[in-house]
Amino acid sequence: MAIRVLGLNSRIASIEVRELFSFDAGAVEETLGDWQARYPNIEAAFVSTCNRTELYVASERNDLPDNNTVFPFLVPPRRRSDALAVEFERYSNNFQSFSGFDAAKHLFSVASSLDSMILGEPQILSQMKRAYETSVRMNTTGPILNNAFQTAFKTAKRVSVETEIFRRRVSIPSVAVVDFALNIFERLSDKKTLVLGAGEMAEETLKYLADFGAKSIVVANRSREKAEKLAAEWQGCIVDWEDRFSAIAQADLVICATGATEPTVTLDEFKKTETKRRGPKPLFILDLAVPRNVEAAIGNLPNVYLYSVDDLEAACTRNKELRDKEIPKALKIVEEEAMQFVKSARTRRSIETIKTLRENWTQIKDAEVERLLHKISCDEHDQEEIRYAFERLINKLLHSPTVSLRDASENEAASGLLESVRRLFKI
């Protein structure tokens, strides 16, 4: 069995380089089609995200093309006519390649989010599953890559269940939602969320809120156009900036992320909303802006939970420290699964080789026995004795090769014996 990966990612290639090798869904399918046309007997799976572009290839035989040959398939179709784009030497420092055990280990690490820009980022697993589904649909995978990706998904599940890595959020928006909002509210599906501002921080926080069930979204921003765009993206509605305090009175969660240099939610104006609030229900306020958008004194009011970026960063740092302690445990899981994958692949290959060798020898034996019985005259009992003797001969001849091949499947250093036997007997 041979398996290899060639690709680049955000850790080893700048965004300028990654842009040159970025693929959309159509380009991935076209590339897999080109691969199948060129190498119909070699499996392939293509992984393309904003942070990585990787091509996994595999074969039951050690007949994989070299990296220089594989490289053009990592160039988007729109750029393949560019002579510079297919010069591997020019970009080789931005690519990495792994084979065999190391390729399996890399795949399992990627799926487990141990090779991501943000360690423990859960989105990578869903991206890997979509990439695998596309390759299966394009009929470019086979027994090796099917088993490899299924094992990768199992490995990711083990890392998720057996370690704290996926449960320790380290970005400001994710910590705000998971470590703070969900500690105040049992659920978010029936809560009203008000967003003051329409920038990247507000949008990313809304993404996490939506992931945990938030549905009722209201946006207020000085630029009505930006507010409308953000609200439309999350199926929400907008209110005029001047009406933000009335909206605060109706909200359960308030996210403040404007670029204002002075507080946009003052204590005096906020107090005017208290009489409009529906009873003593809690109000959760995330002030994600620097300088702060919300006057700190508001956090001292009853039933108001106000958190600033400093509060969230402290939680991020604490989570990162706890998460990093789990990395050795996660890497051990990846190592175990990669070793088992390679071992199982060698064992399966060994069994297939032994089976094929036996079938081939049995055909020869049967033909020779029948030829012999046609030349001599003997009763049925003697014929059975002759057949039995030839069968014993085949078993004795196959015994040592069978034991050796089984031992080779357990011993990586002796795994070359398997390929030698297949070449010797043209299997």
Q: Give the range of the structural domain holding residue 198, as residue numbers without chain letter.
A: 172-322
Q: Same domain, yes or no, for 222 and 294?
A: yes
Q: Which of these ranges, 190-194, 249-253, 398-402, has the smallest mean pLDDT?
A: 398-402
* The pLDDT value given to residue 279: 66
Q: Same domain, yes or no, for 155 and 17?
A: yes
Q: Same domain, yes or no, for 82 and 143?
A: yes
Most confident listed range (13-17, 308-312, 331-335): 331-335
Spell out where 262-397 has E strands: 283-287, 304-308
* The pLDDT value given to residue 411: 65
Question: Which are the contacts of 421, defined by CB distance < 8 A and separation ≥ 6?
Answer: 353, 357, 401, 405, 427
Any idea which residue has 């175990």 for tokens?
336
Most confident listed range (137-141, 184-188, 254-258, 353-357): 137-141
For the residues 73-79, what does the mean pLDDT come to?
A: 86
Instruction: Kindly report the average pLDDT of the chain as a whole number.
Output: 87
Whether 331 is covered by a domain: the verdict is no
Both structure tokens of 21: 């090798």
Q: Same domain, yes or no, for 145 and 189?
A: no
Q: Same domain, yes or no, for 77 and 161?
A: yes
Whether 195 is covered by a domain: the verdict is yes
Domain boundary among 266, 288, 322: 322
pTM of the model: 0.65
Q: Same domain, yes or no, for 311 and 346?
A: no
Q: What does the pLDDT look like over 211-263, one tens digit per residue? A: 888 889 999 999 999 999 999 998 899 999 999 999 999 999 999 989 888 89
Whether 334 is covered by a domain: the verdict is no
Q: Same domain, yes or no, for 235 and 361?
A: no
Question: Which are the contacts of 269, defined by CB distance < 8 A and separation ≥ 6?
Answer: 245
Q: Which of these ranges, 22-26, 317-321, 329-333, 379-383, has the smallest mean pLDDT?
A: 317-321
How far is CA 196 from each of CA 57, 180, 245, 256, 259, rounded to the nearest angstrom?
48, 19, 10, 5, 10
For the residues 48-64, what does the mean pLDDT come to?
A: 88
Q: Same domain, yes or no, for 12 and 158?
A: yes
Whether 113 is covered by a domain: the verdict is yes
Domain boundary among 130, 147, 167: 167
The set of catalytic residues is 50
Domain boundary among 167, 192, 227: 167
